[in-house]
Amino acid sequence: MFSIIVVNWNGEKYLKGFFNSLVEQNYKNFEVYFVDNGSSDYSLDIVKEYSRYLEIIVIKLSENLGFAEANNIGIDVALKRNADYIITLNNDMELANDCLHKVHLAVLNSKPNDVYQILIVNYYDRKLIDAAGIKFDKFLFASQIGHGKKINSFDFKRTKLQGVCAGAAVYSKNSLLRIKESDGYYFDPSFFAYYEDVDLSLRLKKMSNNFLLLNDAIVYHHHSGTGIQNSPFKTFYLTRNLFLYSKKYNLKYYYFLLKGIYLSLTIAKATKFIIKRDYKNVNAIYKALKSI
């Protein structure tokens, strides 16, 4: 059985599309763990409506604990209920009808430490890839594989993953238990949101887990649906967490060099916000730099 963990924070705009795509799956052996981060909208009412058609375990949190910690809570509950595979999905996604069937076929002959990336496709232009996994450069700077590339011309066979985007990832029970035993958590809660999957990927990579791309298992993504593009919330955590994970994994010498590069890029970004008179995002960058 697959255990799907979906973290929600005021995501009512996307939930009907998300749940409809689950109802329409031609593979039915799954359950949903809906972890609500203290939403103030009608999210839980929508969940109640779909509970008639899907097995949904609601975990209601009193406040927004962040994407990382909310996923940790959901994963813990699912594993205690003997989940074999954990699938993390963003709430602003819709699954192709055969997505879970394709995942099922892939894991039939899987190894205990296998971790899979479901292909994330742009919701609005379905010829374009949103993410096909994570790769790292020599300074461990992460980038999304295939972002903005056309699906038909992308060479999936030569694509080598070094990590997975948690927006649509499949983690084996064994891989997660080993990480929890080693570090005390799955996703590092100090990241709160953004780069938490990069951090987890680096730790899984260190433990010699296998990252595999399922390019025929597809989800369609409203990019930055809940985390609105250029919102102060997103700007703060993207800025802060870039420094956070770079400091965590690079040698002091490399981090000193990278910090200068990141500061230059961050100042350039702040300048653009100033030109637009977007002072909320300027303040978010200031707070992020102050917290480093």
25-57 pLDDT per residue, tens: 999 999 999 999 999 999 999 999 999 999 999
pLDDT, one tens digit per residue, over 218-235 is 999 996 555 456 799 999
3-state helix, strand, coil in the chain (%, to 5): 45, 25, 30
pLDDT tens profile 261-287: 889 999 999 999 999 999 999 999 999
Tokens 């705009």, residue? 13
User: Under CATH, which architecture does the 2-221 domain have?
Assistant: Alpha-Beta Complex (3.90)
Whole-angstrom distance, CA of residue 30 vs CA of residue 222: 23
236: number of Cβ within 10 Å = 22
**In this structure, are residues 232 and 281 in contact, taking their beta carbons and an 8 Å threshold?**
yes
Q: 63-86: per-residue pLDDT in tens?
A: 999 999 999 999 999 999 999 999
Give 154-179 pLDDT, tens digit per residue: 999 899 999 999 999 999 999 999 99
Strand-strand pairing, 30-37 and 56-61: parallel
pTM for this one? Answer: 0.93
Q: Which of 221, 44, 243 is nearest to 119 (CA)?
A: 221
Phi, psi of 217 (to 5 degrees): -105, 115
Residue extents of the structural domains in the chain: 2-221, 232-291
Structure tokens at 173: 């029970």
Distance CA 71, CA 288 (A): 23
